[in-house]
């Protein structure tokens, strides 16, 4: 363990208990991090790791327990108190102001007086981006940024505050390998200056690469603390309470190289802001029984490509077809009728949080459960019972989707889409923010669809995921395909360079 032997922890949580009604999110949790170390916190979704760190940052108040900074108990009633105590946090849910620029967001809370010096704010933003190796456009309006770009702004905002204790909740989810390495290099240099880092992540390889210690929460209780070098399977076992089976890549036979593509895209162009193309001259094909992986840093055309394939956006030029059916410009209903299943990156936007699990499962086919003008409630419930059992959804038909964990929300979406036996499946960021167990389940479902002969287009910013699941890979950069290769021949360093716009492998 790093830090000065015998010194007081930089941050210490003692006996933290937090209840939400009958649910105990944290039960007498003890946790500490010392100067100059990275202490990782692992746990499944709903294990309580984010809750306990929100308490440390003043976003949530504990029912019992105390927070100590450098050996002294402090009252953390709000993020302002936490920042004053030297604590910074990057949360999973953004706290940026959409209409403002990146530079203005980085300056919030730092300006004195009634006026903001925009030139000075921009210079500080440029300097911070260069110092920490995180690529952002200081003049870009936050509302126009993709999810991944907003995540990078959040990371930069926290690092630029010169905090002594930094809490990072899934900070690398949307970064390419070169950016992750740059972030880790920055953290290591700051650790030498005494920075303390709490690192929350589902990527066990990253946890082992950067952490001195790892603590595991399960069902709100601290299971134990081990060295950061602990084997990944042992860490996963501690998280879920059972050995992990892993995802077997041999779930289906390789797609015949001579087969005609089921999904075909030709010369696709989609315009973005100010009439500039977000996707330009993209052509690709996906065969039945094949997973085509799309790699790229968020904001390079993936969102627009998926919007076209989901029927949410019309292309400016080019064609989209499934088999012999032209689906160029088709709407969501036409896409569904053509047996195109869609799992978008924002799972929450695809479901209605205040509706029950049962109604969310039939939302796209409610007419099938209507007889003589009346909704058949019994049939809807029976359908939900069947899919809940089939897809291992930890919920009842009457539960509100908003009350479910991220993993179970994704299972509801998977169940709704896969139960209709799609011929083509277009998937974006299917395991982002999910714990190890839920990730394993979702990936196994994608491989099962591949084995059943579906054509799967998989967009992911997780290279490990793409290399584990895809048969072929393409790389998108600034809306164009800059590389294509088989997954077996893929080189991580080359992929990272292509994703960063350095080099081309057409």
Q: Which of 2-6, 140-144, 356-360 has the highest mean pLDDT?
A: 356-360
Residue 3 lies in a domain: no
Cβ-contact 393, 411 below 8 angstroms: yes
Q: What pLDDT is attached to residue 318?
A: 96
As for how many domains the chain has, the answer is: 3
Residue 461 lies in a domain: yes
CATH number at 81 reads 3.40.50.300
Section 344-371 average pLDDT: 90
Residue 211, domain extent:
11-240
The reply to whether 87 and 121 lie within a common domain is yes
Residue 487 lies in a domain: yes
pLDDT of residue 94 exceeding 80, the answer is no
pLDDT of residue 409 exceeding 50, the answer is yes
pLDDT of residue 344 exceeding 50, the answer is yes
Section 354-383 average pLDDT: 91
The reply to whether 236 and 251 lie within a common domain is no
Q: The whole model's pTM is what?
A: 0.66
* Range with lowest mean pLDDT among 81-85, 287-291, 346-350: 346-350
The reply to whether 416 and 430 lie within a common domain is no
The reply to whether 203 and 270 lie within a common domain is no
The reply to whether 198 and 233 lie within a common domain is yes
Residue 163 lies in a domain: yes
Q: What percentage of the chain exceeds 70 in pLDDT?
A: 90
The reply to whether 54 and 65 lie within a common domain is yes
Q: Which of 206, 223, 240 is the last residue of a domain?
A: 240
pLDDT of residue 246 exceeding 80, the answer is no
Q: What pLDDT is attached to residue 25?
A: 92
The reply to whether 306 and 277 lie within a common domain is yes
Q: What pLDDT is attached to residue 148?
A: 64
User: Cα–Cα distance between 216 and 218 in angstroms, integer?
Assistant: 7
For residue 22, count other CB atoms closer than 10 A to its CB.
Answer: 5
pLDDT of residue 445 exceeding 80, the answer is yes
Closest CA to 202 of 414, 23, 93, 43: 43
Q: What pLDDT is attached to residue 252?
A: 41
* 350 against 309, higher pLDDT: 309
User: Cα–Cα distance between 315 and 269 in angstroms, integer?
Assistant: 6
pLDDT of residue 251 exceeding 60, the answer is no
Residue 347 lies in a domain: no
User: Cα–Cα distance between 334 and 385 in angstroms, integer?
Assistant: 28
Q: Which of 240, 259, 283 is the last residue of a domain?
A: 240
For 306-339, the pLDDT digits (tens) are 999 999 999 999 999 999 999 999 999 999 999 9
Section 461-486 average pLDDT: 91
Residue 5 lies in a domain: no
Q: What pLDDT is attached to residue 5?
A: 47
The reply to whether 363 and 334 lie within a common domain is no
Residue 371 lies in a domain: yes
pLDDT of residue 305 exceeding 90, the answer is yes
Mean pLDDT (the chain, rounded): 87
Q: 279 CB contacts (<8 Å, ≥6 apart)?
A: 268, 269, 270, 301, 304, 305, 308, 315, 479
C-alpha distances (whole Å) from 1 to each of 6, 186, 228, 300, 313 are 11, 19, 9, 40, 52
β-pairing, 11-20 with 455-459? unpaired
The reply to whether 191 and 220 lie within a common domain is yes
The reply to whether 64 and 141 lie within a common domain is yes
Token representation of residue 372? 């003589």
* 120 against 244, higher pLDDT: 120
Residue 4 lies in a domain: no
pLDDT of residue 341 exceeding 80, the answer is yes
* 441 against 113, higher pLDDT: 441
Q: What pLDDT is attached to residue 316?
A: 94
Q: Which of 369, 404, 420 is the last residue of a domain?
A: 420
pLDDT of residue 174 exceeding 90, the answer is no
Q: What pLDDT is attached to residue 255?
A: 52
Determine whether 129 is exposed, middle or buried from the number of CB atoms within 10 Å of its CB (0-12, 13-18, 19+): buried
Token representation of residue 293? 């992986």
The reply to whether 389 and 286 lie within a common domain is no
Which DSSP string do the residues of 118-165 spell out, in sequence order?
HHHHHHHHHHHHHHHT----TTSBGGGS-HHHHHHHHHHHHHTTT-SE
Which DSSP string do the residues of 299-348 spell out, in sequence order?
TSSHHHHHHHHTTSS--SEEEEEETTEE-TT--HHHHHHTTEEEE-S-GG
The reply to whether 43 and 104 lie within a common domain is yes
For 268-280, the pLDDT digits (tens) are 999 876 677 899 9
Read off the DSSP letter of residue 460: -
């Amino acid at each position: 363990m790093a830090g000065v032997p015998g010194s007081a922890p930089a941050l210490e949580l003692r006996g933290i208990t937090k209840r939400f009604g009958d649910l105990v999110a944290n039960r007498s949790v003890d946790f500490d991090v010392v100067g100059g170390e990275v202490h990782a916190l692992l746990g499944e979704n709903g294990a309580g790791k984010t809750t306990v760190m929100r308490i440390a940052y003043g976003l949530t108040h504990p029912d019992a327990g105390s927070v100590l900074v450098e050996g002294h108990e402090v009252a953390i009633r709000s993020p302002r108190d936490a920042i004053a105590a030297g604590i910074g946090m990057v949360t999973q849910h953004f706290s940026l102001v959409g209409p403002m620029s990146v530079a203005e967001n980085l300056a919030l809370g730092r300006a004195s007086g009634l006026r903001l010096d925009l030139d000075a704010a921009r210079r500080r933003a440029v300097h911070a981006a260069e110092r920490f190796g995180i690529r952002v456009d200081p003049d870009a309006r936050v509302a126009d940024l993709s999810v991944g770009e907003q995540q990078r702004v959040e990371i930069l905002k926290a690092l630029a505050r010169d905090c002594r204790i930094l809490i990072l909740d899934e900070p690398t989810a949307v970064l390419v390998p070169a950016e992750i390495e740059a972030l880790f290099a920055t953290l290591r240099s700051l650790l030498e200056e005494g920075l303390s880092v709490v690192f929350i992540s589902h990527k066990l390889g990253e946890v082992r690469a950067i952490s001195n210690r790892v603590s595991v929460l399960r069902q709100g209780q601290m299971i134990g603390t081990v060295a950061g070098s602990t084997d990944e399977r042992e860490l996963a076992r501690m998280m879920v309470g059972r050995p992990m089976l892993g995802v077997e890549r041999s779930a289906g036979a390789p797609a015949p190289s001579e087969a005609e593509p089921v999904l075909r895209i030709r010369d696709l162009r989609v315009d973005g802001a100010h009439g500039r193309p977000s996707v330009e001259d993209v052509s690709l094909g996906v065969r039945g029984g094949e997973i085509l992986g799309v790699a790229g840093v968020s904001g390079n055309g993936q969102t627009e490509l998926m919007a076209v394939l989901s029927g949410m956006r019309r292309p400016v030029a080019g064609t989209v077809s499934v088999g012999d059916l032209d689906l160029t410009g088709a709407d969501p209903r036409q896409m569904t009728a053509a047996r195109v299943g869609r799992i978008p990156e924002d799972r929450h936007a695809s479901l209605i949080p205040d509706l029950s699990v049962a109604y969310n499962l039939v939302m796209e086919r409610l007419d099938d459960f209507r007889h003589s003008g009346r909704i058949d409630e019994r049939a809807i419930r029976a359908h939900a019972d069947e899919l809940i059992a089939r897809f291992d959804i930890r919920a009842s038909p009457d539960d509100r989707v908003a009350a479910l964990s991220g993993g179970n929300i994704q299972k509801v979406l998977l169940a709704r889409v896969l139960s209709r036996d799609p011929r083509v499946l277009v998937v974006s960021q299917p395991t982002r923010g999910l714990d190890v167990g839920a990730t394993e389940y979702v990936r196994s479902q994608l491989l099962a669809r591949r084995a059943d002969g579906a054509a799967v287009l998989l967009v992911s910013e997780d290279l490990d995921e793409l290399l584990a699941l895809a048969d072929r890979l393409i790389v998108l950069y600034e809306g164009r395909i800059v590389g294509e290769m088989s997954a077996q021949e893929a080189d991580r360093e080359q992929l990272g360079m292509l994703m960063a716009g350095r080099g081309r492998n057409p």
